[in-house]
Amino acid sequence: MIDSNTNPLFSVVIPTYNRLGLCIESLTSVLEQSFSDYEILIIDDGSTDGTREYFSDYCHPKLTYVFQKNSGVSTARNLGISYSKGQYICYLDSDDIWHKDKLREVKNLILTQPSADILFHDFRKHDLKLEAPYDKTNTDIFPYIFDYFERQGDNDTWIGDKNASFELVMRGYPFYPSVVTIKREVHNQYLWDPGVLKSEDFNLILKLSLRYTFAYLDIDLTTIKIHDSNKSADMLTKDKIILNTMKTIAELYCSDEKKEISKRFLAVRKFYAGLSHIKRRNFLIGAKWIASSLMSRHFYLVKFDNFLKKH
């Protein structure tokens, strides 16, 4: 339910570091929104490229600019939360852009699904080496979301209970911060973990999927930009972090039933990570991970044929 108070409905948190040109484009996509009940918080994580000078002189009634010593994106997002006043926190990475109706559509989703704690929507990527964004959206590539979520009345709105959301995240459906909106009450319980230096979004969303209700809007409302400075230079480390996160959260937070589910997804994701590394000619690591997955009995408990078709 949307409260009628003097605080904005949305707080838009934009963490940035040395991306002045891209950050201006991201900010513009927020300022051009067709829905106006929001505030913007740009959290500068110690930029040295003129970002501080530019935004220190930038005057707009909706914008608050905060500079912090370089401490990482999670600390920046948490600082944005501490300054925010909105009922819902939206994130926009400083190299991504929103469709002009993004906030209006999310507001409508809140009105139809007021019990949902985390809201997200479809998006597409744009490799900046190419002239235009990809033709396929995220859900065109990962349609198995519809195996877990249930349609609510119309073709665009889908709801997943805690079990469905947990399995969706464990399976590997990507949740980019720029497509996620989170109730303030959720952030009163969970913040971003500054100790997680890669895949911090996966870490947070996986924890939230154990406790909260997710709502999905099947509308493309964000463009995720792909460029040299945001491509992971160390995929091996990233894969290890994701797999360790899955294992740790399963052991610390999950019921026995969910632990069994976690072990199945962990075994399968190890298998695919192994294949990925072999393709990148990391033969020893790839073979090790594939062998580890094949030695787990949980690997054989997955409906493998269906998983391969839908993964």
For residues 114 and 252, give the distance between their C-alpha atoms in angstroms, rounded to a whole number: 30
Summarize pLDDT for 292-302 with one digit per residue, the tens. Answer: 999 999 888 77
Summarize pLDDT for 158-201 with one digit per residue, the tens. Answer: 999 878 999 999 988 999 999 999 999 999 999 999 998 888 99
Summarize pLDDT for 245-267 with one digit per residue, the tens. Answer: 998 988 888 888 888 889 999 99
pLDDT at position 276 over 90 = no
pLDDT of residue 235: 67
Question: What's the pTM value of the predicted model, to 2 decimals?
Answer: 0.91
Summarize pLDDT for 78-124 with one digit per residue, the tens. Answer: 999 999 999 999 999 999 999 999 999 999 999 999 999 999 999 99
Q: What distances in angstroms separate CA 311 from CA 225, 276, 295, one per listed residue?
A: 23, 14, 21
Reported CATH class of domain 10-230: alpha beta
Return the domain boundaries, the chain: 10-230, 235-310
Taking alpha carbons only, the member of 186, 163, 169 closest to residue 246 is: 169
Average pLDDT value for the chain: 91
Q: Contact at 8 Å (CB) between 185 and 118?
A: no
